[in-house]
Amino acid sequence: MGTQGSAAERAGIAEGDIRVLVENGEYWLRNRGDIAMMAVTVERLRARWPRARIGVLTHQPGILQAMLPEAEPLCGPDWNWRPDGWHGRLSRTAGTRLVGPAALRWRAATDGPKDRLRALRSAAARRRAAGPGITEHVTVPEDTEFPVEIPAAVEQASLVLALGGGYMTDIDRYQAHRTLNLLEHARSLGIPTALVGQGVGPLRDPALLRRASEVLPGVGFLALREGRRGPELLARLGVAPERVLVTGDDAVEFSYRLRQAKIGADIGLCLRIADYSRVSAAAQATLGRVVRACAGQLGAGVVPLIISEYASEDRLSTLPLLAGASGARPAVGRGGTPHDVARQVAGCRVLVTSAYHLAVFALSQGIPAVGITASEYYDDKFHGLAQMFGTGLRIVHLDDPALDQTLTDAVRDLWDEAPSVRDALQQKAVEQIDASRAGLERVFRLVESGPVRPGHHRGG
């Protein structure tokens, strides 16, 4: 799709003509774990290519500008780069300094009432569809057709980079197909492609398996956040092993930087209920009762940890569990950042969480965690994470007939073990940070050693 460029041409590209199109997996920017991964990756891209344009596909341009001022939003209806030149730079500066903070304040003020109304509607729908006892959300029908929607910005991209997430799986087929379509189109134009920090699977849907086997073998590089399932699944899909590297989650570095020298004194708690994480009412009651009892016996506070603001799913499931806890701490506000939550985690001695990225935040700082799972999806997430860190993560299934005792033992054991596992966990975090940076170095080389594309030197 072009000819090999001279050293001078490459220097010119490195000085400002590179455009990185980032597929972040979560366009509404309501998951602080995903934002943490994106923050680390954007920082690394900016360090390598200081004058590059880093565009992120999003439905929330203002929120992106508030959270990640080093990136620029690519949003509908045209999904294209903004004009270059002084007026484009002025627009981006105004967005970062004015629009972004205003958008974050507006979301914080309005999300509560909107989410309470959605929750009432969702609860009524669940009662009609599922009956009592199980909380679940509506899923995408299996026979759904996924249109090919390609953002115009890809035409001028130097690199298409799909960031880590749990979307390359049956439970998020829309986002999986959207990402695969984008990667396939970029490759057809000769644009380098890569995936980093990915969790792949469970994957059994025939149509999604077929698309993945058509697209993923042609991707330039794939970095996985775990080695338990991903490498074998990619091999079955036809991906060459030399294109795959297990690096760990990209949010590891984000949280590791916020570690504290002093061991915390609280118990962190997060329960998420969604279509991919079914939880019975009895299990919810047991979880809350055990954590409150352990906190009382150990003289600990209980910190509600909110990682996802999507439909207030973490708030609606977690905050009621603190009712009656003598040492209940306040939750982060709806406008809170990933840094705010990671700092809350730093004040904990143990976490009990059904949210994967909170376990990442904890283990990366040397804090042990109990991973709560009620589905194969979370089994894979937590067992993969446990393998990456080697210690400090105890996995408990909510369908355990002895849940009360199993959970109590897990919390108390990890509370006692917290000082002894701290250094080992932090060392594993450092190893994953090094691996993640080495993986991104391979991504950089896809661009810097490849042909100079004609579109690099066009205006916006």
CATH of the domain at 83: 3.40.50.2000
User: Beta strand pairing status for 369-373 and 348-353?
Assistant: parallel
Q: For residue 296, what are its two tokens?
A: 């009382």
| Span 172-186, average pLDDT | 96
**Residue of 139 and 439 predicted with greater confidence:** 439
Find the helix packing angle between 32-48 and 338-346, rounded to 10°: 110
Instruction: Measure the CA–CA gap between 441 and 443, rounded to whole angstroms.
Output: 5
Lowest mean pLDDT among 122-131, 189-198, 348-357: 122-131
| Span 93-114, average pLDDT | 74
Indicate whether 280 belongs to any domain: yes
pLDDT tens digits along 403-448: 999 999 999 999 999 999 999 999 999 999 999 999 999 999 999 9
Return the pLDDT at 273. 87
Written as one string, the DSSP assignment of 178-240 is: HHHHHHHHHHHTT--EEEEEE-B-----HHHHHHHHHHGGGSSEEEES-SSSHHHHHHHTT--
Q: How confident is the model at residue 85 (pLDDT cuts 50, 70, 90)?
A: low
Indicate whether 130 belongs to any domain: no
Per the structure, the complete domain to which residue 304 belongs is given by: 258-428
Nearest to 344 by CA among 304, 296, 313: 304
- Backbone phi and psi for residue 306, each to the nearest 5 degrees, phi listed first: -110, 110
Task: Please check whether residues 282 and 400 belong to one and the same domain.
Answer: yes
| Span 132-152, average pLDDT | 59
Instruction: Measure the CA–CA gap between 81 and 72, rounded to whole angstroms.
Output: 8
| Span 290-313, average pLDDT | 96
Task: Please check whether residues 291 and 225 belong to one and the same domain.
Answer: no
Instruction: Measure the CA–CA gap between 318 and 270, rounded to whole angstroms.
Output: 5
Indicate whether 134 belongs to any domain: no
pLDDT tens digits along 200-241: 999 999 999 999 999 999 999 999 999 999 999 999 999 999
Return the pLDDT at 10. 57
User: Which residues, 6+ apart, have CB-to-CB distance to 324 below 8 Å?
Assistant: 292
Q: How many domains does the chain have?
A: 2
Indicate whether 378 belongs to any domain: yes
